[in-house]
Chains A and B, each alone.
Chain A
Amino acid sequence: MHRTGELYGQFETLEQQKDSATLGMWVFLVTEVLFFGGLFLTYAVNRHFYFTAFGVGGNMLDLTLGATNTVVLIASSFTMAMSVWSAQTSRKKLLPVFLLLTLVLGGVFLGIKYVEYKQKFDHHLVPGQSFDLTYRMNHPAPGDDPKELAAERREIEEALLTEDPANPQVALVALNAHAQLYFSLYFGMTGLHALHMFVGAGLLIWVLKDSLKGRFSASYNTPIEIVGLYWHFVDIVWIYLFALLYLINRHLG
């Protein structure tokens, strides 16, 4: 199909084109909800089965980093909303600034996520052969806060009592297996979310390039709007992930 200016050949008007793009993105986001939905269901079922082990897993996460990331992502949603506003009101100089800010905040999020993943890797909390819930408490690193380690030890010991008070050896095997399920879901869910962040960053770079050429204005801003929709969706997914993975049964700092 030929393209005339901003109008692709299969459409009659720019309005029809915009309606189609917007509806298309909404339908896509619905599929995304169902896509994440399978993971959320798996999470919910296992959280119900293994409430104690999942609680221990959640307490092993770094709340400060998680909370910081939540703030960073909400801020990026704000700058994204400002980008859409800038485009709709033809503020052609402001638009790239807000897009760039959104991109930078997205980058900060992924950076912090990397630090968190690295931590889990060092603590042997990545599912697999070397997964060991007690690794950190038995092999403290020089910089570790002793209070934090003691709290972690107490947490695991309490959980062992809940799992099987008579037989701590059996309880530890079970707790490790179930905590491993938690961390499988943790990496699965946050990993899939991070993948979406990378896609979002790619989309931002794409519209940022065009915005520098001044292509978007009150009359044509569809790409900014649909990228915005996508970005907000990925943001909302994180809000759920944060609550489900970090906050349930949280009592360690």
Chain B
Amino acid sequence: MSTAPPLTPDRKLPREHYLNATYGIHSWLLTTDHKRIALLYLASVTFFFFVGGIFATLIRIHLLTPTGYLVTPENYNKLFTMHGVAMIFFFLIPSIPAVLGNFLIPIMIGAKDLAFPKINLLSWYVYIVGGCFVLYSFATGGLDTGWTFYTPLSSVYSNSAVTPAVLGIFINGFSSILTGLNFIVTIHTMRAPGMTWFRLPLFVWAHYATSLVMVLGTPVVAITLLLAGLERMFHLGFFNPALGGDPILFQHLFWFYSHPAVYIMILPAMGVVSEIIPTLARKPIFGYSFIAGSSIAIAVIGFLVWAHHMFVTGESTYAALTFSFLSYLVAIPSAVKVFNWTATLYKGSISWDTPMLYALGFIGLFLIGGLTGLFLACLGLDIHIHDTYFVVAHFHYIMVGGAVMGYVGGLHFWWPKITGKLYPEALSRLAAVVLFVGFNLTFFPQFILGYLGMPRRYHTYPPEFQVLNVMSTAGASILALGYLLPMAYLIWSMRYGKIASTNPWPATGLEWTTDSPPPTENFHVTPQVTWEPYDYKSRPELGLAGGTAPLAPAHGDD
């Protein structure tokens, strides 16, 4: 690192900020401050991440040997189901929106809080209540239906604790809906003077698109799971063919939400990457309006592709063709983003700080995940690789390689703002590399396994698949280390980290103009926005790629 002086020479925490404004357990559990609620979410989604992670660990240990002697077949079914439910509904979907989005959106648009602070707190409590139901299901018999809850397995035949799990996810859905509603209204009505739509950070655009999906999709899965739950409790027949119902209808309704839900996970991560890349390449983002528009396009097209999960259910060829074509269309806005990020990097003054490592990792992994998605959208090929490890690898590249990379990268990027402290840079770069290596070693072999025909959700496999499975399990252990490291040093840095300046990277967003950590009201005076987003050209004091202004180092004397 260079030895140029930091932007704020006197590194002291502000005298009063949102973390020390009030004290006591009540001041946290009854807070309406979006920043504190974000931290409540941070703790809770981390908890569920480890719950889901423990299940994943057990799955990978079980699959070390072809016969799998760790758990019984029934318990294996429960492991992958509970892994999916904990990770998808209680970690991935709320992760970036409810933690980073909650913390940043009001600050990024120059507002004092979200439009409905009490509803924001309510949505955290709803999440916790839903989470308790699901944990209750895990603890009392577990859940073995797969995270997809296909009927009539879930509604009639399963002997596991399906009812509390379904109710928990139903309840949790309202947390998502309320968060999305709050974001949409906030972005519409709470922007500071001068913060026009096309001056919004791309992170905000991504969250606007995400919120649309949350608000339009979640109620559908809520009513669907409610119907499946009622069917199980009262022996009704909506989705049970023995009683005249239609199980395929359940799949349509389920995927109408659950495919767009993938975009709830990936769009916010794309928002994070769109912030990190121009900042750490010191260049205005290339194609701002295209990146913003492509977020909306992904959200809209995402609603029209759900039946590509059902190519082998016997749906009509014409329907399948249409859904295949529409699924290919999603690649266009996704590629628009990747090309624009790459163009932003081109001739940029790239610094290899940790968030940048995550952003670059995101681009590569998302690219693999996205392109293999096209394999699966292809009608003929999908017959071959449907329900194999190819699918598992594909969506883990999107959800873990994409969404989680974005989340961890975003946590690092805004950590100085959230806590007022810097994380240890050298260690965090190491962790980013460990994560990247561990991830690829875990999931790349699964592409090959799937292509060779290993079905997902099986507790045994033919011996010739063992080498690749052992590689995958080895990768998973490295991956676990890659998650434990940031967890350890981020917590460590909250107490022992160096004090961060107001704008350590430095970046152009409004959140970097206020204290680190910000005051409860976010800004001491309501900001007036007079500059365009990512405009390093007219703000030479922040440094510019190819310019002569000194680049302020992120971590000074690190």
Asked if B243 contacts A19 (CB within 8 A), the reply is no
Question: A12 and B249 in contact (CB under 8 A), knowing A38-B220, A50-B244?
Answer: no
A253 to B338, CA, bound (A): 64
Residues of A within 8 A of B526 (CB): 12
A68: interface (CB < 8 Å): no
Whether, in the assembled complex, A180 has its beta carbon less than 8 Å from a beta carbon of chain B, the answer is yes
Contact assessment for B112 and A181 in the assembled complex, using a CB-CB cutoff below 8 Å: no
**A45 to B217 Cα, complex, angstroms:** 20
Nearest CB on A from B183, distance (A): 10
B198 to nearest A CB, angstroms? 20
Asked whether, in the complex, the Cβ of A38 is within 8 Å of the Cβ of B190, the reply is no
**A92 contacts the other chain (CB 8 A):** no
Cβ–Cβ < 8 Å partners of B115 in chain A: 10-11, 20, 24
Chain A proximity mask over B244-277: 1 for CB below 8 Å, otherwise 0: 1110010001000000000000000000000000
Whether A38 pairs with B235 at a CB distance below 8 angstroms is: no
B223 interface contact, C-beta 8 A:
yes
Contact across chains for A23 and B114 when beta carbons are under 8 A apart: no
CB distance from A242 to the nearest CB of B (A): 20
Interface of A is mostly: helix
A31 to B212 CA separation, bound complex (whole angstroms): 10
Q: Is there a chain B Cβ closer than 8 Å to A219's Cβ?
A: no
**A63 adjacent to chain B (CB < 8 Å):** no
Over the window 13-51 of chain B, the binary record of Cβ atoms lying under 8 Å from chain A Cβ atoms (1 yes, 0 no) is 000000000000000000010000000000000000000
Q: Does A184 count as interface, using CB distance less than 8 angstroms?
A: yes
Contact partner, B181, options A16, A19, A27, A45, Cβ 8 Å: A27
Q: Does A111 contact B (CB under 8 A)?
A: no
Report the separation of the CA atoms of residues A37 and B245 in the bound assembly, to the nearest whole angstrom: 18
A7-35 residues at the B interface, CB under 8 angstroms: 9-12, 16, 19-20, 23-24, 27-28, 30-32, 34-35
Interface range on chain A (Cβ under 8 Å from partner): 35 or more
Report which residue of B115, B190, B230 has the largest number of chain A beta carbons within 10 angstroms of its beta carbon: B115
Is A20 a contact partner of B189 (Cβ separation < 8 A)? yes
Q: A108 to nearest B CB, angstroms?
A: 28
Judging by beta carbons under 8 Å apart, are A181 and B245 in contact?
yes
Counting CB contacts under 8 A, is B238 at the interface? yes
The answer on a CB contact under 8 Å between A23 and B185 is: yes
In the complex, chain A residues whose CB is within 8 Å of the CB of B245: 46, 181
B68 within 8 A of A: no
Known: A20-B115, A35-B223. A49 touches B246 (CB 8 A): yes
Cα of A53 to Cα of B395 in the assembled complex, Å:
43
Kindly identify which residue among B114, B177, B220, B246 contacts A10, using a CB–CB cutoff of 8 Å. Answer: B114
Q: Is the CB of B181 within 8 A of A24?
A: yes
Known contacts A10-B114, A24-B115, A38-B224, A19 near B189 by CB under 8 Å? yes
19 sampled A-B residue pairs with Cβ under 8 A: A10-B112, A10-B117, A10-B190, A11-B190, A20-B115, A30-B215, A31-B215, A31-B219, A34-B217, A35-B222, A37-B220, A38-B253, A42-B238, A127-B235, A128-B234, A177-B243, A178-B244, A180-B237, A181-B245
A contact set with B: CB distance below 8 Å: 1, 9-12, 16, 19-20, 23-24, 27-28, 30-32, 34-39, 41-42, 45-46, 49-50, 127-129, 174, 177-178, 180-181, 184-185, 188
Q: Which 9 A-B pairs have the closest CB atoms?
A: A38-B223, A35-B219, A10-B113, A34-B219, A20-B115, A20-B189, A184-B236, A31-B219, A24-B185
